[in-house]
Every structure is written in C-alpha cells, then in structure tokens.
Amino acid sequence: MTRLATMFFVIALIAALFAFGGFATAAAEVAQMLFFGALALAVACYAAAGIGSRDVST
C-alpha cells in the first residue's frame, strides 16, 4: 500500500511539472488516502499485537 502511495505521489509530481493541475491534484489525493490508510493499518496491527501478547496468569 505504501508502494502505491509513493507511485501516485511521483505521478502527481510529474503531472504538476507538466502543468496538468487537475490530474496532479487527483493523484496527490489518492496518494494521501493510501498513505493514511497504510498508517492506520500499521497502528491497528501494532495495537493488536500489543493486546495479543499480554501474559495473563492466574
């Protein structure tokens, strides 16, 4: 997912370089959504691993 975010970011930079404003904006928004989605999944996995690794002894 971060690879896709990076790819869309590069596409946005290239599109902005050639003055394709609308396309650059759309690609940047997709890259931002993918990045924050990957970040949310990483945090959720980290939290789940922390909860799952607790030692409950009686």
Instruction: With CA atoms as reference, report the closest residue to 23 among 12, 7, 36.
Output: 12
pLDDT attached to residue 23: 79
Two structure tokens written together for 39: 């970040």
Q: Is the pTM of this model over 0.85?
A: no
Q: How far apart are CA 32 and CA 25, in angstroms?
A: 10
Instruction: List pLDDT tens digits, range 9-51.
Output: 888 888 888 887 787 888 888 888 988 998 999 899 888 887 7
Instruction: With CA atoms as reference, report the closest residue to 10 among 33, 29, 31, 26.
Output: 31
Two structure tokens written together for 4: 């896709």
**Binning pLDDT at 50, 70 and 90, where does residue 57 land?**
low
